[in-house]
Each structure stands twice: as C-alpha cells, then as structure tokens.
Structure 1
C-alpha cells in the first residue's frame, strides 16, 4: 500500500488548477493534444510516481516508458526515503538545534539556541561579533534565514527584540567561504549538496554531489529560492558541466560573477568526501541523507542535512540528460531494483 497510498494522498491534496496549467504549458511546448497530455500525466503518476511538476520539468512528454522508468521522480525518491530512513530519527535533522548538537564537531562555528537562551546569554554570545545568521527551527529551502548586522540596530537590546519578534530559533556565526567558492558567486555561501546512501549492509556511499549557487539578492543558494545547480564529478571535484535552474535556463558562466563553471575545481574535495562519509556512518536510522557542505579556508563544514533530499537536483533536466536516461540506475547499483 506504500506506493498506492502515496499516489492517493497526492490526488487528495493536488492543486488541480496548477495541474491543468501544467498540461497547457506542456501543450504549448510540445504541440501535443491536451487530452492526451492530461491522460499521460495521470498515467505517469501511477506508473512512475511522477507528479505533474516532474512531468513538465523532465519533459516526460518527449519520452517513452522505458526512458521514463530510469528517472528519479518524486514518488521514487519517497520510496528510497521510506526504505532507508526511520522516521523516529528525523528529529536529528529536522530540528536544527538537535542537528547542531549531534554534529557539533562538524560545524566549526559558534552558535546559540536563541529561542531558549536568556538575554544575558545572548549578550555574552554577541561580544566581539559584528554580524550573525538567524534561522528558524523547522523551515527549509532558505526560508526565514536572515543575515543581520549589529550596526543596523540601535543597540544589542534592539537586535534581541527583533530576533524575538521574528521567531528566530538559532543564531550563529556567518560562514566565510573559501575564496575559490566566493569567486563563483560572492552573494551567497555556495554549498555542495552531497547525497549519501547507506543500504542494509551498513556501508555508506556518496552517490551524487552538486554545487548550489545563489543567483538573487537573497543570501541563500537554494534552487527553490532562485538559485542554480551544477553536477560535481565525484572523483575530481570539478564542476562537470553547465549549471541550470528550475526555469530551464542553462549557464556556462555564472550570470552575476561571470565565472566559467564547467571544469571549475572545488577546493578541498577529498575533505568534503571524508566529512560526509563520517557523518553518514555516524547518524543512526538514516540511510539516505542530503548534506549541505560549505567550504572555508579552514576546511569543509555542515550547514544542515536533509532526511528528504530533493530529487530536483539530480542531473535529469533535459539539458543534462539528452539521451533521456535518468539517475535511478545509480541508486539501483546499491539498492537493487526500485
């Protein structure tokens, strides 16, 4: 009932207006009959676990069923999560405070659980600090994250009141990224999203990595917040091709910095891989995790982790999979038939 239950939940909560808009958009791009497209979207939902957003983003209307079966859709991704991740341990990554405590040795920055601290503890933490990052406890995709400068407030008391009013849960040091990472785009901390799987044999494997880059006025690099991503070669740590975003734009160079992306060397790559291997082996009950890694001059560190790693960062966009072969076979090397 797992797969069917997931499909029926999607049907019950579907935004039908957006569904019909997607059918219209696919018709405009492909010229195919709207009725046929609607029926095909429904079929792909049942057969491949593909939502209408998957259908559009991956251009399923241009593929046959054998090709579609190779893609990690939303439903396939959720199947992997259900198979490898125990919900009893989700709190270790969902709750930022618990994540920070559990993985404190990998954070390499000062932080404070603001929502539970006293004002005196806050003032002591702020001594010598000119700016901080404030985060809510349980939002994702960069939502609610703010970079705050002490100089923008009349006093630390005013900053404290602002943080209380905004619902901040954690405050922490601003991560200063490695110059080679800042060269890509200095407006955000550009992170490496590393996907690890730990199948039933207990041995963790890095299965995929991509670099996420900001491309907006917000200090975040999330794909769902206007950012872009590019595949990173696991062996060399070099960017393996152009970047793309969720609007189907493809970038050989970063549009704001002008930095050429294909072939760009990510610094300290071996240390990034070692960090994620160690964390994947340490965390209990979680066999499929997406680790967000920043790289500073002192080495890599964790920003956060995800127990439902987004499948939209896999190299499956039309420009990345011109042969219409998706990423699912890479998972099946370790997990068997999905």
Structure 2
C-alpha cells in the first residue's frame, strides 16, 4: 500500500499551527515536568519538535509519557495526527455519514446490535411509552453526539406524563432510543452500574480484518464509560488480557476499580474468539470505511455492537503505569503499510 498523501498532512499541520494554544502547551509541559522531573523549557521545546517533526499530538506526549522515552521507544506509539491521516486516506468521504449519524448507523448495522431500538418522531408518544414500559429502562441518544454527550438513561417508573416526556426528548433531539445492553458477568464484576465497552481499532484491507489495538473502558456507574463521565481504560493484549492498571487523560491511575475494588490488571475479556470473528463481520458491512474504532460489549450470549467511529482516535499504553515502554504502531504499520 502507498504512504499517506502529503497534502492532507500539510493541511493538518497548518491547521494545528493556526490553532496552537501556547498556554495549553505550557500547562501540559508543567504536568510532564512535575511527573518526570524534566525542566519545563526543555519539555516545551521537545513537545513542539515532536509535534512538528514526528506527528505527536500535545496530549499524546503527556498521555504516553514521551518525556521519559527514547526516540526508538516513541516511534512505536500510535498518535492522533497519524491516526487522522489514516482516517482521511482510508475512510471514503461518501460513506462517513453512516458512522456520523447514530440512527443511520443503527439502521445499517441492525443485525449486529442485537437489541431493540426506535426513533422518536412527531406523534409517536404512544410507541415510546410502549417501548419504555416493555424495557423498564432505556438509553436515549442524540444522533450526532460524541464522547458520550447526549446519552441519557431513563426509567419508565419515573415518567408521569408520556406526552410531555416525548415532547421533551424531541425538543432536546434525544431521539434514538435503545434497549439497555446486558453485559457479561466478567464485565459486571468490575462495574455493574455502567455498560463497559471494548474499543477495538481495526483495519479492513479488502480481504482481511486486522485488529490493531484493544482498549477496555470501565465506567463509574453512570450511563457512559467515557472519561467525561469519570471513566477510564486499560489496554488489552491480543488475547484480551489487561496490560496493567487503568488510567485516563486527567492523570488518574486506577490499580483497582474505585467502586468495586476489582484489580484492573487481572481483567480478562471473555469470548475473545467470538470477539475477533464479530469484528471481522462488522468490518465488512461498509468496506469503504476501512479504518474504524469499533465499540462493542460482550454479553452472556456473545459480543454486540454499540457504535463505530470512522475517526478512530487513539488508545495506547501508558509506560509510567504499566512499565511497558512500547506501543502499538508496528501493528498499524504492518497492516496498513506506511
């Protein structure tokens, strides 16, 4: 396969240069300085050089402890700018809307959701009531929300006026209604109050689906396991076993789950053979979108699909937490050929 085209990278770098927030860079440099004992000016220069020359995002630099890594070690880490280049080159613009719009996504991937869902429209308050009372609890989403925004959980027992409830959701554009996923007991053992998703970043080359990285996210009892809801993640190895404690982008490290006390390094994702086969199946539904971050949940009956992210983002190892000083970039390079 060819290398990335130069034009998108130049546009990306130019856009970053226009939007650079010097105060934010210095703040991040101070964070690295305090954690790793490096002088702030040295870190600032290194961050800017890494961004301009090596496609390293400022937050990547902090999250993956670049201040303590050698150049050879840094070169093994996937970064957000590189991930963005992959997305731009291998995810066809004409098909991205199927992943942007959650309602369109549910319709296209309905067979893999393995749960009931409906759309709120004008005049279907009775349908909403029937659906919600049958389920007991529902999850409602905005069709274009990101990072857990616009996701809410409602209980039928709390609704007194169904017409008003329907009108409220419609006005807030919270129109995608889904059945709550029942997760596998091994996931519930870590956090039973949140459906804990597994982010599997994969590349479909037209014949084979390559699993590039696996991150297990854990919530804190809220409707979402995203960091904005207090969630965190741990990287899993190719066999689905945790590579160490959990962490987030806010400096929090969790050796055990703060609520359940479960040792994060002991976690094993169940049904890995089924998970691999499932990811291969969903990757073939829209083959024009080759590079995707798939969010799945393992249930007692096997994996189910939550959503797909064509702008896959990056989940990586954190050396200061795991003691592992290498990342996943070689897997990306072997699969994609850059």
TM-score for the superposition, normalised by structure 2: 0.90
Q: Deviations over 1:24-79 (max 9, x none)?
A: 32333344343332222211111111122122222222233333222211111112
Residue 288 of structure 1 pairs with residue 291 of structure 2? yes
Identify if the C-alpha distance between structure 1 residues 78 and 249 changes in structure 2 by more than 3 Å, giving closer, same or farther. same
Identify if the C-alpha distance between structure 1 residues 140 and 265 changes in structure 2 by more than 3 Å, giving closer, same or farther. same
Contact 1:191 1:292 in 2 (8 A): yes
Residue 278 of structure 1 pairs with residue 281 of structure 2? yes
Aligned to 1:166: 172
Distance in 1 between the 2:337 and 2:16 partners?
26
Contact 1:135 1:168 in 2 (8 A): yes
Aligned to 2:222: 218
Aligned to 2:210: 205
Cα distance, 1:266 vs. partner? 2.4
Cα distance, 1:224 vs. partner? 4.4
Aligned to 1:241: 244
Aligned to 1:261: 264
Q: Counterpart of 1:143 in 2: which secondary structure?
A: coil
TM-score for the superposition, normalised by structure 1: 0.90
Distance in 1 between the 2:132 and 2:32 partners?
52
Cα distance, 1:310 vs. partner? 2.0
Distance in 2 between the 1:292 and 1:156 partners?
31
Partner residue of 1:73 out of 71, 79, 86: 79
Identify if the C-alpha distance between structure 1 residues 176 and 7 changes in structure 2 by more than 3 Å, giving closer, same or farther. same
Gaps of 5+ in 2: 1-6
Distance in 2 between the 1:209 and 1:28 partners?
30
Identify if the C-alpha distance between structure 1 residues 143 and 125 changes in structure 2 by more than 3 Å, giving closer, same or farther. same
Q: For the aligned residues, what is the CA RMSD? A: 2.1
Greater shift in the superposed pair: 70-79 or 115-124 = 115-124
Aligned to 1:125: 131
Gaps of 5+ in 1: none
Distance in 2 between the 1:291 and 1:220 partners?
16
Cα distance, 1:165 vs. partner? 3.0
Cα distance, 1:20 vs. partner? 2.2
Contact 1:242 1:262 in 2 (8 A): yes
Cα distance, 1:222 vs. partner? 1.6
Aligned to 1:88: 94
Greater shift in the superposed pair: 298-307 or 246-255 = 246-255
Q: Counterpart of 1:319 in 2: which secondary structure?
A: helix
What are the equivalent positions in structure 2 for 1:173-192 lying under 5 Å apart? 173-192=179-198
Aligned to 2:25: 19
Distance in 2 between the 1:145 and 1:226 partners?
14
Contact 1:188 1:214 in 2 (8 A): yes
Identify if the C-alpha distance between structure 1 residues 193 and 117 changes in structure 2 by more than 3 Å, giving closer, same or farther. farther
Aligned to 1:319: 321
Identify if the C-alpha distance between structure 1 residues 67 and 240 changes in structure 2 by more than 3 Å, giving closer, same or farther. closer
Distance in 2 between the 1:265 and 1:51 partners?
30
What are the equivalent positions in structure 2 for 1:13-52 lying under 5 Å apart? 13-52=19-58
Runs of 4+ in 1 over 6 A off after TM superposition: none
Q: Deviations over 1:258-287 (max 9, x none)?
A: 123334332322222211110112223111
Q: Deviations over 1:158-182 (max 9, x none)?
A: 3212212322120111112222221
Contact 1:315 1:326 in 2 (8 A): yes
Aligned to 2:332: 331
